[in-house]
Chain A
Amino acid sequence: MSVPSETFKSLVKAAAEQVIASAPELTSLDQAIGDGDHGTNMKRGCEAVLGKLDAISAQPLDEAFKMIGKTLVMTVGGASGPLYGSFFLAAGEALSHDKHLPEDLADVFGSAVNAVSARGRSHVGEKTMLDVLVPVLETLKTAAGQPDLIARVRTTATEAVERTAPMQATKGRASFLGARSVGHVDPGARSSCVLVQAVCAGLEARA
């Protein structure tokens, strides 16, 4: 099996456009507990990806993922650049080493999540994007092959992002606020949820 390049292109486009549409919300969340640039940074990165989308989707899948990662690294301008960049670079690297989509989705996603954890020297429970990505990975593993996989991933992501609200941040700018970070959804967790939901919606539309 493989992923047709038209499918890949439409999913990347949908995900990037959804993040761009969510930029005001991401900025507002980041203004509450951070430096308020997450929305504009992610928008800049996603616009750069959209600008190169034809070239990206003309590549083999592994190289396409790496190009997305490199584009985010070079354009986002905040810590989310290297974090999301490492996610896509590692996914591309896994695909260069005998992993295939869609059958190895959980493995590829796992490599990508590990790269985010290593780049941020962070783990689940610290009020970061990992608090969405790690639960999504668990669902990809436990529900692999199930007919309702996409619906379960969507539910997992939505519930996971809400669970960041009561957490106290121990990584990133939000950690400077200490206990005052409690009560706010984490902007990075929210942007991860937006990406996951956009890809799920794109897959549902094609099913």
Chain B
Amino acid sequence: MSDTVGIVIVSHSSDIAKGTADMVRQMVGSEVKVAFCGGNPDGGLGTSVPLIIDAINAAWSPKGVAVLVDLGGAETNSEMAVEMLEPARRDLVVVCNAPIVEGAVMAATEAAGGSSLAQVKAVAEELSAD
């Protein structure tokens, strides 16, 4: 499974993050590494850079990691988390511009077929195309 792109789900809500991860696993089982986080450092609605860093490292794959986010702060905090990774990992993580649930399921399904990080991101982002 280390030869598939990993998936990270970052929501303001830990319930949504977990629920999304459940839906992803229903599609791809354990073929793809999936990690998720939700909530601010106090556990309320929000996102947390240290938790995002932990999730990226938990889903780590040599093929890279695709991050799916919900609203603005999740995106900004995810971009910050990527920059704080060790240098060798930074270029292998992308934050996808895609709806979180549909994007995560589509990205994971694509990843399960052995696609590259760029292909996984492109499939997720097709959902945001006009």
Interface residues of A (CB under 8 A from B): 35, 37, 40-41, 44, 73-75, 77-79, 81-83, 85-86, 119-120, 172-173
* Contact with B79, one of A74, A78, A82, A173 (Cβ below 8 angstroms): A82
Nearest CB in chain A: distance from B38 CB, A? 11
Q: Is B41 within 8 A of A73, CB to CB?
A: no
The 8 A CB mask of B43-59 against A (1 = contact, 0 = none) is 01111111000000000
Residues of chain A with a CB closer than 8 A to B50's CB: 74
Query: Does B61 reach chain A (CB closer than 8 Å)?
Result: no
Nearest CB in chain A: distance from B68 CB, A? 17
Query: Does B128 reach chain A (CB closer than 8 Å)?
Result: no
Most buried by A among B46, B49, B72, B73: B73
Interface residues of B (CB under 8 A from A): 40-42, 44-50, 71-73, 76-77, 79-80, 84
Q: Is A78 within 8 A of B80, CB to CB?
A: no
* Contact with A81, one of B42, B45, B77 (Cβ below 8 angstroms): B77
Q: How far is it, in angstroms, between the C-alpha of A73 and the C-alpha of B76 when the chains are bound?
A: 10
Residues of chain A with a CB closer than 8 A to B79's CB: 82, 119
* Contact with B46, one of A37, A74, A119 (Cβ below 8 angstroms): A37
* Contact with B40, one of A73, A78, A119, A120 (Cβ below 8 angstroms): A78
Q: Return the chain A residue nearest B77 by Cβ.
A: A82
Nearest CB in chain B: distance from A46 CB, A? 13
Q: How far is it, in angstroms, between the C-alpha of A78 and the C-alpha of B77 when the chains are bound?
A: 7
* Interface of chain B: mostly helix, strand, loop or mixed: loop
Q: Return the chain A residue nearest B84 by Cβ.
A: A73
Q: How far is it, in angstroms, between the C-alpha of A121 and the C-alpha of B80 when the chains are bound?
A: 13
Q: Is A78 within 8 A of B73, CB to CB?
A: yes
Q: Return the chain B residue nearest A36 by Cβ.
A: B45
Residues of chain A with a CB closer than 8 A to B44's CB: 37, 40, 77
Residues of chain A with a CB closer than 8 A to B49's CB: 73-74, 81-82
Residues of chain A with a CB closer than 8 A to B76's CB: 79, 81-83, 119-120
Q: Is A173 within 8 A of B41, CB to CB?
A: no
Q: Is B47 within 8 A of A77, CB to CB?
A: yes
Most buried by B among A41, A78, A172: A78
Q: Is A75 within 8 A of B72, CB to CB?
A: no
Q: How far is it, in angstroms, between the C-alpha of A8 and the C-alpha of B71 when the chains are bound?
A: 36
11 extra interface residue pairs, beta carbon distance < 8 Å, beyond A37-B46, A77-B40, A81-B77:
A37-B44, A44-B40, A73-B80, A74-B49, A75-B41, A77-B41, A77-B77, A79-B76, A81-B80, A82-B79, A83-B76
* Contact with B42, one of A44, A79, A82, A172 (Cβ below 8 angstroms): A44
Nearest 8 Cβ contacts at the A-B interface: A77-B40, A79-B73, A82-B80, A77-B46, A79-B76, A78-B73, A82-B76, A77-B41
Q: Is B45 within 8 A of A37, CB to CB?
A: yes
Q: Is A173 within 8 A of B72, CB to CB?
A: yes
Q: How far is it, in angstroms, between the C-alpha of A44 and the C-alpha of B43 when the chains are bound?
A: 12
Residues of chain A with a CB closer than 8 A to B71's CB: 173
